């Protein structure tokens, strides 16, 4: 064992146009922090909202430009060993995910900004740190305090999510994981109503998230010990070069890293936080998390599975197959019994995570494109669905119990009709994006997943049928039942929320009827750079 002489310092190559979208979002988040510090309270909400939406739109434009600047960046090619040590991979999947995240982020933020005529966002508490029910809480509500810091927090989360599928090494992935998670932990605890539930959700999310992050880091350390590098390219190469004697590190490390990522998508058995957090978090945040966290985490899983640990897939794929099966079954079966709208959607999101995993396990370019399409299709639908949940109220608070939705089809046919349509999309009925997404994933799995893929798809089909039962029950409840009591009302949303829900629903419809353009885009964007 001899020490290697330190190589001469090499400057990193940074293609600023390629990383501009990230810079814009993080920059806007920092500006948002300054706004919190220096702008008078009554003007913060509007300014923050403007900054957030404008920066995301700008970031989207920048992503369009970045498509001309694909390749590895933020690093250098080592002169001595010609290893390519780049922290970021600006490639099709990364840019596709970034674009999707930015657009879904806009919708999420618009729903978060809903004020219903009040001073600040309706969903968020006036003072997050105050004890629920304490005099301080009452005082801060009286004083008209607002929690406009949710906007920079959300921007930070979006930035982390954009980074998550873009990073090209394990450490970067960990940083992205934390950057996206920490704001979400806070956002989950800021609900205006039922605050104890919200704080409990936040605590659970944080503690379990901390554990899974620790596992991820532990796994990273083991994989580094195995490959001597954290870069995905080196990792992939090391698997084909290194002797089998070190497999103890490789397998354990790969499992641990996957635990960290699967936790974020809510795959069984790391799903336990999902219903509790989805229920407790402010509903707009739940919608945002369900759409964007899932998309970002699947982007990261794809990169890890297809670029970093692709050569070792026979070591870990059986475990992930089991996880996928469990996720589909548990998500579908447990959604049957739910009586709370948010919990129902939470379990449905678990089941959907299972379907997406089936696509991941196709181990083929078509698998990549089907996953990309799926998360986008699901994301827009779920944002709209949670947006609708924020509108249905009883005594001021959200009416999330299913019995409160009974007969909504009679009193508010548009809201109930939209929800029913989204439910059909979740069930995967044709002419909705849900069908095309599910079909693309299933086709990829059968096409290249071999016998395992076929078995997974059969299980997926049975689970889909079970979830149809769940969604149909909600539709029956809304349209074919008498309202239990008539104090349930539907608030009239502002332009922003209406826009967000309408766009989410329209995209759900459009992707069901004319999905070609997005499918083609996902197809063209399904090639990773190495």
Partner 1 sequence: MVQLLLVHLVAAAVAPVLVRFLGRNAFLVLALAPASALAWLLSVAADVRAGNGPVQRVSWVPGLGLDLDFRLTTLSWVLALLVTGVGALVLFYCRWYFTATDPTLWRFTAVFTAFAGAMLGLVLTDNFLVLYVFWELTTVFSYLLIGHNPASSTNRRAAMQALIVTTLGGLAMLVGIIALGVRHSYRISEVVAHPPALDAVTIGAVVLLLVGALSKSALVPFHFWLPGAMAAPTPVSAYLHAAAMVKAGVYLVALLAPAFAGAPGWHALTVGLGLFTMLVGGWRALRQYDIKLLLAYGTVSQLGFMVALAGLGTREGGLAALALVVSHAFFKSTLFLTVGVIDRSTGTRDLRELSGVGRRLLPLSVPAVLAALSMAGIPPLAGFVAKEAALQAGLEAASDGVPFAAAWGWLMTVTLVVGSILTVAYSTRFVWGAFARKPGMPLTPVRVPHPGFLLAPLLLGVGSLLVGLLAPLEHPWLLPYAQQLVRGAPPALLALWHGFTPALGLSALAIAIGVGLFVWRDRVGRVQRAVPPLVDGERAYARFMRGLDVGAVEVTARTQRGSLPFYLATIVFVFVALPGMAALLRGSVGPVRLWDTPAQAVVGAVIVVACVLVLLTDRRLASVMLVGVTGYGVSTLFILHGAPDLAITQMLVETVSLVVFVLALRRLPTRFERHERSLRRRLRVLLGIAFGASVAAVILVASAARHVVPVSIDFPEQAHSFGHGSNIVNVTLVDIRAWDTLGEVSVLVAAATGIASLIFVKTRNTRLSTASEQAIAPTEPTRGTWLRGGRTLRRERRSVMFEVVTRLIFHIMIAVSLYVLFSGHNLPGGGFAGGLVAGLALVVRYLAGGRYELDEAAPFDAGLAVGIGLLIVVLAALAPLAFGGTILQSAVFDFTLPPWGEVHLVTSAIFDMGVYLIVFGMMLDIVRSLGTGIDRQISAERRAEAEV
Q: Is the CB of 396 or the CB of 413 nearer to partner 1? A: 413
Task: Find the binder of partner 1 among 3, 37, 414, 495 (CB under 8 A).
Answer: 3
If binding is defined by CB under 8 A, does position 178 make contact with partner 1? Answer: no
If binding is defined by CB under 8 A, does position 447 make contact with partner 1? Answer: yes
The region that residue 131 occupies, defined by phi over 0 for left and psi between -120 and 50 for alpha, beta otherwise, is beta
CA distance 85 to 78: 7
Q: One symbol per residue from 253 to 292: x for binding partner 1 (CB under 8 A), - otherwise; what is it?
A: x-xx--x---x-----xx-xx-xx----------------
If binding is defined by CB under 8 A, does position 33 make contact with partner 1? Answer: no
Q: Vertex 219, ends 215 and 223: CA angle to 5°?
A: 175
The region that residue 74 occupies, defined by phi over 0 for left and psi between -120 and 50 for alpha, beta otherwise, is left
Task: Find the binder of partner 1 among 34, 61, 80, 461 (CB under 8 A).
Answer: 461
Question: In the numeric block, which tokens belong to residue 299?
Answer: 């982007």
If binding is defined by CB under 8 A, does position 436 make contact with partner 1? Answer: yes
CB 160 within 8 A of CB 187: no
Q: Which of residues 65-84 bind partner 1 (CB under 8 A)?
A: none
If binding is defined by CB under 8 A, does position 443 make contact with partner 1? Answer: yes
If binding is defined by CB under 8 A, does position 411 make contact with partner 1? Answer: no
Tokens 């934390």, located at residue:
178
Q: Please name which of 522, 527, 390 lies closest in space to residue 96, comparing C-alpha atoms.
A: 522
- H or E, element range at 495: helix 495-513
CB of 425 to partner 1, least distance (A): 12
CB 52 within 8 A of CB 154: yes
- DSSP conformational letter for 72: E
Q: Is the CB of 23 or the CB of 472 nearer to partner 1? A: 472
Can you give the length of the chain in residues?
Answer: 530
If binding is defined by CB under 8 A, does position 222 make contact with partner 1? Answer: yes
- DSSP conformational letter for 305: I
Tokens 């890293």, located at residue:
257
If binding is defined by CB under 8 A, does position 4 make contact with partner 1? Answer: yes
Q: Which of residues 332-351 bind partner 1 (CB under 8 A)?
A: 333-338
If binding is defined by CB under 8 A, does position 464 make contact with partner 1? Answer: yes
Q: Which of residues 118-147 bind partner 1 (CB under 8 A)?
A: 127, 129-131, 136, 140
CB of 204 to partner 1, least distance (A): 5
Backbone φ and ψ for 231, nearest 5 degrees, come out as -75, 140
If binding is defined by CB under 8 A, does position 330 make contact with partner 1? Answer: yes
Task: Find the binder of partner 1 among 116, 211, 499, 509 (CB under 8 A).
Answer: 211
Task: Find the binder of partner 1 among 204, 237, 401, 530 (CB under 8 A).
Answer: 204
CA distance 260 to 71: 27
Question: In the numeric block, which tokens belong to residue 110?
Answer: 């618009």
Task: Find the binder of partner 1 among 119, 466, 484, 502 (CB under 8 A).
Answer: 466
If binding is defined by CB under 8 A, does position 520 make contact with partner 1? Answer: yes
């Amino acid at each position: 064992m001899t020490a290697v002489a330190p190589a001469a310092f090499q400057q990193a190559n940074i293609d600023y146009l390629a990383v501009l979208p990230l810079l814009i979002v993080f920059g806007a988040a920092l500006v948002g922090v300054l706004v919190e510090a220096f702008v008078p309270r009554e003007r913060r909400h509007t300014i923050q909202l403007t900054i957030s939406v404008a920066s995301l739109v700008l970031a989207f434009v920048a992503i369009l430009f970045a498509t001309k600047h694909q390749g590895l960046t933020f690093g250098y090619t080592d002169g001595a060993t010609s290893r390519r040590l780049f922290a970021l991979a600006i490639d099709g999947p990364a840019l596709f995910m970034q674009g999707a995240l930015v657009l879904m982020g806009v919708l999420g933020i618009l729903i978060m900004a809903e004020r219903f005529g009040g001073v600040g966002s309706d969903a968020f508490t006036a003072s997050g740190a105050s004890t629920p029910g304490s005099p301080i809480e009452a005082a801060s509500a009286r004083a008209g305090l607002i929690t406009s810091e949710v906007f920079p927090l959300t921007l930070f989360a979006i930035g982390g999510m954009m980074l998550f599928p873009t990073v090209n090494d394990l450490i970067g992935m960990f940083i992205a994981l934390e950057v996206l998670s920490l704001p979400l932990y806070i956002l989950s605890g800021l609900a205006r109503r039922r605050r104890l539930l919200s704080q409990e959700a936040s605590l659970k999310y944080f503690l379990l998230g901390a554990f899974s992050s620790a596992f991820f880091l532990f796994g990273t350390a083991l994989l580094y010990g195995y490959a001597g590098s954290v870069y995905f390219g080196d990792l992939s190469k090391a698997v084909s070069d290194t002797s089998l004697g070190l497999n103890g590190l490789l397998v354990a490390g790969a499992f641990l890293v996957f635990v960290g990522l699967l936790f974020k998508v809510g795959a069984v058995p790391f799903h336990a936080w999902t219903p509790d957090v989805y229920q407790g978090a402010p509903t707009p945040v739940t919608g945002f998390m369900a759409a964007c966290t899932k998309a970002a985490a699947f982007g990261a899983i794809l990169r890890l599975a297809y670029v970093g640990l692709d050569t070792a897939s026979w070591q870990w794929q059986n475990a992930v197959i089991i996880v996928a099966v469990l996720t589909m079954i548990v998500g579908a079966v447990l959604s049957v019994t739910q009586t709370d709208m948010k919990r129902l959607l939470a379990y449905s999101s678990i089941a959907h995570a299972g379907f997406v995993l089936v696509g991941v396990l196709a181990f083929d370019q078509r698998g990549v494109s089907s996953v990309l399409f799926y998360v986008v299709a699901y994301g827009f639908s779920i944002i709209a669905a949670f947006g609708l949940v924020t509108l249905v109220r009883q005594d001021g608070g959200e009416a999330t119990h299913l019995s409160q939705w009974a007969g909504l089809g009679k009193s508010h046919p548009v809201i109930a009709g939209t929800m029913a349509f989204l439910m059909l999309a979740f069930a995967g009925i044709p002419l909705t994006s849900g069908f095309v997404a599910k079909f693309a994933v299933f086709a990829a799995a059968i096409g290249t997943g071999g016998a395992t893929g076929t078995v997974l798809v059969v299980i997926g089909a049975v689970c889909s049928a079970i979830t149809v039962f769940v969604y149909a029950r909600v539709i029956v409840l809304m349209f074919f039942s008498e309202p239990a009591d008539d104090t349930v009302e539907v608030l009239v949303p502002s332009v922003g929320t209406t826009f967000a829900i309408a766009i989410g629903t329209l995209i759900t419809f459009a992707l069901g009827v004319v999905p070609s353009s997005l499918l083609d885009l996902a197809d063209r964007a399904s090639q990773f750079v190495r």
